[in-house]
Copies of this chain bind each other. A is one copy, B any other.
Amino acid sequence: MKPRLLTPEDIKSLQADIPEWEVKGKSITRNWQFKNFIDAFGFITKVAMLAETKNHHPKFTNVYSMVKIELSTHDLGGLTTLDIELAQGIDNLD
């Protein structure tokens, strides 16, 4: 299915679907705190595999046990259905 840009209406109702994510207009962000680097990196690896299968790649930031993931669809200039689908896939991983 082709991704489509979310409308302002979509974005208003988005927070209910992905309560763990911070919705910021053109992107969504979620932070994780693991108990150590091994757990953090095991999680990053799973997200990396999921992202590659969807050919849609997050911005990852990691320091030790902290992981931050930011999603946006740069080609389309903002948040799309693809970001929401990946966010929900990530939510189901950990």
Contact = CB atoms under 8 A, between A and B. Distances in A.
A68 B46 CA distance: 19
A23 interface: no
Size band of the A side of the interface?
Answer: 20 to 34
Describe A's contact surface by its main secondary structure.
helix
Nearest to A72: B63
A66 to B, nearest CB: 9
Interface stretch (A10-18, A53-61, A77-85): A53-61
Interface of A: 37-39, 41-43, 45-46, 48-53, 55, 57-64, 93
B63 A59 contact: yes
A40 to B, nearest CB: 9
